[in-house]
């Protein structure tokens, strides 16, 4: 993995942090290169929180970790740090709080979560190894967010069918439960040019998170689009799309759309849903929400949304479930993926058991 550094390292804590990161990355065989080199996989972007500047990627495969330092412990880490994550167009933010009492480090994710990285004085090697173990799987993961739209949807499906009506009703119900959160209005934080850049990079639309889908037949399934208002799914091809298959050679989801619309991307989790539907013919619906339930199995690494690694980790947990067609799987620091025989089945099983706050670890 080739990596580089961007921005200005302006304090002794930032220099200490980057020196430690250099050592641990090179210990594990990664190579430091100039920011102008091609095929850079990982960038550490040091940012002035008052003037946050993004590192402009040349490819989706470049994973950017921005580093911000502050001298005051905020009351709400996520609300304080998340705008810097978005304004710097980063995949991950390392938020360093350096007070007189102690040093606190937080990883802040695009999925609107954060968790602390423990540090004890005199245990630098342990700290940076922990940083590496949490960072490397994320930086080496592979996004599957490209869509290939084929205007071949049969005309009788241009207005949807009974399954899209079920999806529409279920999405409205989840929205009323406030399980499609959007506490940070990305499109208001970013100027229009940067907002378009975010959508191209991550397939994120900014209006809400979470998604749902329902099986159409053996091969295909209907799924909500990325970034749309889930409480108001209306147009086929724009709000809901018919996923045909995953093209492994092109690393893209293939979708059938009406020839009369300008389509939106399908949700970034389409690769995860595709894996589950393909392996388990009795799964009829899948819901992903930013919430939690007690006593459930969970993935062990908080892979980014839309990566094949997250999809495989969730698919493995579904595979191990007693009933794969009725599984409830936790996504570490993120939320839940729930399978069901249909959408009604999912709602019946989660009723009264949902915990709105996802535990971070």
Domain boundaries 146-350, corresponding CATH code: 3.40.225.10
- What's residue 200's pLDDT? 61
**How does residue 231 score in pLDDT terms, banded at 50, 70 and 90?**
confident
- What's residue 186's pLDDT? 61
DSSP 14-40: HHHHHHHHHHHHHHTT-EE--TT-SS-
Q: Where are the domains of the chain?
A: 2-139, 146-350
DSSP 135-204: HHHHHT--B--EEEEES---GGGTT--HHHHHHHHHHHHHHHTT-S---S-HHHHS-HHHHHHHHHHH--
Per-residue pLDDT reduced to its tens digit, 156-177: 999 999 999 999 999 998 888 8
Per-residue pLDDT reduced to its tens digit, 195-222: 676 666 555 544 346 899 999 999 999 9
- What's residue 197's pLDDT? 65
Per-residue pLDDT reduced to its tens digit, 241-263: 999 999 999 999 999 999 999 99
- What's residue 93's pLDDT? 95
Name the residue with higher pLDDT: 226 or 329.
329
Model confidence at 2: pLDDT above 90 = yes
pTM listed for this prediction = 0.85
**What is the topology classification, in CATH, of domain 2-139?**
Rossmann fold (3.40.50)
Residue 25 CB partners (closer than 8 Å, separation 6+): 1, 3, 32, 132
Q: For residue 203, report the phi and psi dihedrals to the nearest 5 degrees.
A: 70, 25
- What's residue 115's pLDDT? 87
Per-residue pLDDT reduced to its tens digit, 57-113: 887 789 999 999 999 999 988 888 888 888 888 989 999 999 988 899 999 987 777
């Amino acid at each position: 993995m080739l990596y580089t550094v961007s921005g200005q390292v302006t304090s002794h804590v930032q220099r200490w942090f980057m020196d430690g990161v250099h050592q641990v990355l090179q210990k594990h065989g990664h190579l430091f290169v100039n920011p102008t080199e091609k095929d850079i996989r990982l960038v550490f972007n040091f940012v002035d929180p008052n003037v946050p500047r993004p590192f402009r990627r040349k490819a989706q495969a470049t994973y950017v970790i921005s580093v911000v330092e502050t001298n005051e412990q905020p009351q709400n880490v996520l609300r304080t740090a998340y705008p810097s994550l978005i304004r710097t167009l980063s995949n991950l933010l390392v938020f360093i709080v350096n007070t007189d009492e102690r040093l606190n480090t937080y990883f802040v994710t695009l999925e609107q979560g954060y968790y602390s990285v423990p540090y004890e004085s005199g245990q630098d090697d342990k700290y940076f190894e922990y940083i590496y173990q949490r960072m490397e799987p994320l930086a080496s993961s592979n996004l599957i967010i490209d869509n290939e739209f084929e205007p071949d949807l049969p005309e009788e499906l241009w207005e949807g069918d009974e399954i899209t009506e079920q999806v529409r009703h279920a999405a409205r119900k989840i929205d009323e439960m406030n399980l499609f959160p959007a506490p940070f209005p990305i499109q208001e934080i970013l100027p229009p040019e940067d907002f378009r850049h975010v959508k191209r990079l991550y397939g994120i639309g900014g209006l809400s998170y979470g998604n749902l889908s329902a099986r159409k037949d053996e091969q295909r399934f209907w799924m909500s689009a990325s970034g749309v208002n889930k409480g108001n799914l209306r147009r086929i091809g724009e709000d809901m799309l018919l996923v045909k298959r995953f093209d492994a050679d092109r690393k893209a989801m293939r979708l059938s759309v009406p020839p009369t619309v300008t389509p939106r991307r399908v949700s970034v989790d389409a690769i995860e849903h595709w894996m589950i539907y393909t392996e388990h013919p009795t799964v009829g619906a899948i819901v992903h929400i930013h919430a939690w339930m007690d006593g459930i199995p969970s993935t062990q690494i908080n892979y980014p949304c839309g990566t094949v690694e997250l999809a495989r980790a969730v698919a493995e947990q579904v595979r191990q479930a007693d009933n794969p067609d009725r599984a409830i799987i936790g996504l570490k620091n993120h939320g839940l993926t729930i399978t069901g025989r249909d959408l009604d089945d999912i709602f019946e099983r989660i009723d009264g058991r949902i915990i709105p706050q996802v535990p971070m670890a």
